Amino acid sequence: MTVGETLAGCLLITGTPGAGKTTVSQLVAERLPRAARVDGDVFGIMLVSGGANMLDEEGRWNPGPDGQHQLRLRMINLCSVADNFAEAGFTPVADSVVETREELRFIAGRLRSRPLMLVVLCPPLEVARHRNATRAVETRVDYDFAPLARNQRRELGDLGWWLDSGEQAAEETADLIVAEAARRAVVPESVLGS
Ligand SMILES: Nc1ncnc2c1ncn2[C@@H]1O[C@H](COP(=O)(O)OP(=O)(O)OP(=O)(O)O)[C@@H](O)[C@H]1O
Ligand SMILES: [Mg+2]
């Protein structure tokens, strides 16, 4: 990619908590000439009341039916906002945990922007844990995300671009994504079921 060139379509950056989605998606957006970072977590924070507890009594990530419904709502809002930016000529750089193939298909079914480029940040689990433990306390998560990492690998392992950022600075990861996402991260329509 040359300076000033934008990425067509929508970039979706996923991975476990602490993998670096928010950090890297910000840096990717900064490197593009017209881009917006669309943070999936923001759509949860917007709920002023009635937000479901996503953790169970043992502190595990385990949303109940209401929580599942609200996670869907986050995805619906994420897709709508991403499309609005794309239609105005801004590349949406979406940042959200996607755990299952079914969730990815749901997103792809709502999102009009194409191509859909999926980047899964997959530093070794220990690195993600360390990044989580050493980031600002208000952004830290307390639950064990090893099961989420396993599910993501099983469900999405053959899709998109799995990028091990474990030994990279966030800026290097962002440079790589800007340079190579169009070639390495596009999810084929045949997989998305549309
Ligand atoms: N190579 C790297 N890439 C991304 N982040 C890195 C890297 N090296 C160190 N970090 C640090 O690791 C932390 C990653 O946290 P970040 O909030 O970006 O994760 P996240 O994937 O968005 O998590 P969550 O799902 O909880 O929102 C940040 O404090 C960041 O500065
Ligand atoms: Mg984040």
Class of domain 10-192 (CATH, top level): alpha beta
Closest CA to 70 of 109, 107, 44: 44
81: closest CA among 121, 48, 113? 113
Give the least confident one: 49-63, 86-100, 104-118, 151-165.
49-63
Within 6 A (CB) of ligand 1 lie 15, 17-24, 41, 97, 131, 135, 139, 141, 165, 168-170, 173
Q: Which two tokens stand for residue 71?
A: 């996670």
Nearest residue to 147 (alpha-carbon basis) of 100, 101, 108: 100
**Ligand in nearest proximity to the CA of 13:** 1
33-80 tens-digit pLDDT: 999 999 999 999 999 999 999 999 998 899 999 999 999 999 999 999
Per residue in 130-143, pLDDT (tens digit) is: 999 999 999 999 99
